[in-house]
Structure 1
Amino acid sequence: MNIIITGKPGTGKTTLIKKIKNHLEKKGARIGGIFTPEIREGKKRTGFEIIDIMTGERGILAKKGAPGPRVGSYGVNLETIKRVGIPGIERATRSADYIIIDEVAPMELKDPNFLTKVEEALSSDKTVIAAFHRKLIQNVKNRKDVQIFKINPKNREIIYEKIKNIIEGK
């Protein structure tokens, strides 16, 4: 069973996924995949990084005013998706117990191979725990191997417990 978390920006998708990751690591699970944390200068978000969980390799995914395909005011670095994002998902699909993908969103999809790797991970024998941009959920909502959770600040803890129970087979 794959677990997809969706919701509006700032509702805690990444926080929830990190909490699940920490829980799994405490149980001895090998975790792979990617995180895409914000880059901030003071209180302003200026971009996003992409980090391979297994290797720690990182790169700039997108930056305000940077060259590359646009998503809003951000220029997306396709080279970083090819160098860090796609290999991070491939590596996790091969050798992790659980695959984390945070996040499947318009920036990452500027490289069409990214979605292909996400679909391969979802079709693997591994459990994928992924955050999906709310406008992209249609890409997975009809899959029988996916359970979708819509998060908001009020239900975050309840959803964490539900996901923990699914992972633990309760």
Structure 2
Amino acid sequence: MNTTRKRFFILTGDPGVGKTTLTKKLTSSIIEKGVKASGFYTEEVRRNGVREGFDVVSLDGLRGRLARDQSLLGGPVKYKVGKYGVLVDEFEKIGLASLNQAADQNSLLVIDEIGKMEFFSEPFKKRIREVFSGISSHVILASIPVRRSDNLIEGIRNHSLAKVWLVTRENRNQLHDEIMKEIASLLAVSS
């Protein structure tokens, strides 16, 4: 029997199901308990109800563009996912930097999300490998795609230190308390 305590709390689910909303709520709850947190989340950018792209937002409030509808960009971009051009330099300036400043002891590292757009950054992929190597003492809250993707993401999903929750429209409002209780027990705060 494996008695190793889980420290990687992984959310997965279909796009738009509420993973980022749940991540933000959990992060706020942890910070309110006095625990240090670093990292980033991604957020849809909409104008007049139409999605224009995605931003990367660090927990300390820095914001940059992750991706934009290619029709809104002044020219061609090297990396694309569907109709979106991925702005790797801007992502690294905010997202990667937020991971590199993470404290180790008794802190939460938030990575929303580890996916196709973010993986155009080789330094980001390298940092993800380091973070999930099991050597650091981070407690991690992260989100990954629900469908099988690449070996690194599958390694996270199947890691012995990971607990994975499938977020659905039906359970997304109930998962907060369950996940919070587990994270809080590791970070020595009351849930």
Task: Answer yes or no: same fold by TM over 0.5.
Answer: yes
Partner of 2:188: none
Partner of 1:104: 114
Measured in 2, the distance between the counterparts of 1:161 and 1:57 equals 28
Whichever of the two has the greater Rg, that structure is 2
Partner of 2:4: none
2:27 to 17, 21, 44: 21
SS at match of 1:105: coil
- Aligned sequence identity (%): 28
Measured in 1, the distance between the counterparts of 2:103 and 2:56 equals 17
Measured in 2, the distance between the counterparts of 1:53 and 1:121 equals 17
- The one-character-per-residue Cα deviations of 1:143-165 (angstroms, maximum 9, x if unpaired) are 11111000101111332222111
- The one-character-per-residue Cα deviations of 1:37-65 (angstroms, maximum 9, x if unpaired) are 111111111111112213x2221111011
Asked if 1:148 corresponds to 2:164, the answer is: yes
Q: Is the 8 A contact 1:32 1:96 kept in 2?
A: no
SS at match of 1:92: coil
1:97 to partner: Cα distance? 1.1
Q: C-alpha root-mean-square deviation of aligned residues, in Å?
A: 1.8
Q: How does 1:83-98 map to 2 (within 5 A)?
A: 83-93=93-103, 97-98=107-108
1:106 to partner: Cα distance? 0.6
Measured in 2, the distance between the counterparts of 1:62 and 1:79 equals 11
2:173 to 135, 139, 157: 157
Asked if 1:132 corresponds to 2:137, the answer is: no
Measured in 1, the distance between the counterparts of 2:18 and 2:161 equals 24
Structure 2 unaligned segments of length 5 or more: list them: 1-6, 186-190
Measured in 2, the distance between the counterparts of 1:82 and 1:15 equals 22
1:95 to partner: Cα distance? 7.6
TM-score by length of 1: 0.91
Structure 1 unaligned segments of length 5 or more: list them: none
Counting matched residue pairs gives: 169
- 1:94–1:168 Cα change, 3 Å: closer
